[in-house]
Homo-oligomer: A and B are copies of this chain.
Amino acid sequence: MRERNDLDIFFAPRRVAVVGATANKAKGGYNILANMLESFAGPVYPVNPGRDEILGARCYPSLRELAGKVDLAIVFVPAEAVPGVLEDCVAAGVQAAVIESGGFAEVGERGREITRRCQEIAARGNLRLWGPNCTGLVCTDPFIFTPFMRAPDAHKRLDPGNLGIIAQSGMLAAGFMFQYVLSGFFKVSKACAIGNKMDVDEVDVLDYISKDDRTKAVVAYLESINRGSEFLEVARAMRGRKPLAVLKGGRYEEAARAALSHTASMAGSDEVVEGALRQAGVVRVHDFHDLMNLGKAFSLHPGPFRLTSPRGDGVAVVTITGGGGVVTTDLLRDSGLSVPVLEERTLKGLAEVFPAWMPPSNPVDIWPAIEQRGPAVFSETLREVLADDRVDGVILLPFASRLLEIYPFEEIGKIKRESGKAVVSWVFGDLRFFVEYETRMREHGIPVFIDLRSCVLALRAYLHFSRLARETSAAG
C-alpha cells in the first residue's frame, strides 16, 4: 500500500475555498458555493478575480490572498486554468484540491499534458488531488457536500448512514445523489465520485472508507482498476468484515473503448478482474439498478446474519401467491441458492395454521390459511420457517391491498430480529400501498423490492456475506 492513504483532509477539512465560484445560477461554480455556504460548518471562501462578493460572502481574487487560511480547495475552472490554481494552492499552503472540471486526459493529448503538469505541481508541493472530471465527495458526518449540482438543504436531507459509495463517473454520481441519496433510498456515510483519478484513486478511497468506523458496507462503480493487486488487497481485508459490491464497466471491447474516452481508463481483461473479485469475496453486478439495490439492502443491514444450515444457502419463500412462489423458486435456483424441504417440526407447526386440505411445503403458499385466519398467518408462518435449521433466509411475498392495513409489521420485525436471519420482501398489487409497506418494513431493517430478481439478488448477497463472515470468524 502506498503511504498516501490518509484522506481525512478531503472528508473533514476545517476551511474550504471554492475556486471558480460565480454568481451565475446556471453554472456549477455557483452551485458548489451555494451548497457549501449553506451546509458546511466551517468558513467557505469564494475565489473569483472578477467579483468582490458572491451570495453575501467576500470573494477573493486568488487563493494566494488566503494563504494559511484554507485546507481544501474545490476547483471548478476550465482545465487550462487548473495548473495555475494548483500553483496557488501550493503557495497558499492548501493541502488538498477537489478538481471537478472536465477536459483532462479524457479529451486527448492536450488534456493529458495538463494532467501531467497538475501531477507534477501536486507532487512537488505535497498537495493531494481528487478528480478531475467528477462531482467530488459527500460526507454526512462531519458534513461536506462538494457536487456541482445544486442540492438545497442537503445537510438537512442527508441523515448520516453507514453506506459508502464510490463512483467513477461524475454524471452518474450526481444522478445517484439525487435519485438514491437525497431521496432517502439509502443513507450514506461517504459518497465518492473519483473521476479521472489523477492522484486519489479507487484504492485510496476504498482503503480509507473500509477503515472508516461509520462505513459498514460499500458499493462501487468502477471503469478501471489501475492498481489491481492493491485493490484486491483492500478488498480481501474487507472480506467477511464489510460487504463490498462492485459494478465494473467495460467488460466487452466496445465498452472498454468507451471507458477509455470517458475517464481515460484502461479496463483490463475482464476474466482476470472476474476471478480476482470472486476470490476476494466481492459481489459483482452488471447494472446500476442492482448496485443501488444492494446498497439499499446493506445499508439496512450491513452485518452478517445468523446461518443455521451447513451450506448457508437455504431459503424459504412465504407467499400469498402460488405463482409468485413458483417463479421465485426458479430465480433462487438460478442464482445458486437452495429451496430446501422444511424440517418435520416446521411442517407440523405450519399444519396447525394451514387448512386441513393443504399440506404445507416450501414455497409456503399461505393464501388459503390467510383466507381462514387473516394476515396474522404472515407472522405465524415466518416464525415457524425462521426456526427451521435448514432455512437461512426468507423471501416474503405479500399482496399490496387494504390487507396491509392489518399486516403484522411489528410482529414480523420482532420475529426477524430475534431469529437473527435474513428477510427480504417483494411487493406487488395496488401501488397506493407500496410506499407505506416499504417504509414500515424498512423500519425493521427489511428491504422491499418491486421485482423478484432484486429480492433474490439482495438475499443472495446477504447470505454470501454471512458465509464469508462465518468463515472469517471460524478462521480467526
Contact = CB atoms under 8 A, between A and B. Distances in A.
Interface of A: 102-103, 106-108, 110-111, 149, 167-169, 171-172, 174-176, 178-179, 183, 221, 223, 247, 249-252, 254-255, 257-259, 261-263, 286-290, 320-327, 329-331, 333-334, 339, 357-358, 361-363, 365, 367-368, 399-401, 428-431, 450-453
Nearest to A151: B430
Contacts of A334: 251, 286
B399 A175 contact: yes
State the number of copies, please. 2
A435 to B, nearest CB: 12
A258 B450 contact: no
A247 B178 CA distance: 34
A251 B330 contact: yes
A324 B288 CA distance: 9
Nearest to A255: B329
B322 A169 contact: yes
Nearest to A327: B249
A361 B257 contact: yes
Contacts of A453: 286-287, 289-290
A251 B255 CA distance: 33
Contact of A108 (B107, B250, B357): B357
Contacts of A324: 169, 171-172, 288
Contacts of A400: 175, 178-179
Given A174-B429, A339-B254, A399-B171, A330 B183 contact: no
23 contacts: A103-B357, A107-B358, A168-B323, A169-B322, A172-B321, A174-B429, A175-B400, A176-B428, A178-B429, A178-B430, A179-B428, A221-B323, A249-B326, A254-B329, A254-B339, A254-B362, A255-B326, A255-B327, A255-B329, A258-B329, A263-B322, A286-B334, A288-B451
B330 A250 contact: yes
Contacts of A107: 357-358, 368
Nearest to A172: B323
A321 B362 CA distance: 44
Contacts of A289: 450-453
Of listed A102, A178, A322, residue having the most chain B CB within 10 A: A322
Given A286-B334, A453-B289, A428 B329 contact: no
B327 A286 contact: yes
Contacts of A430: 175, 178-179
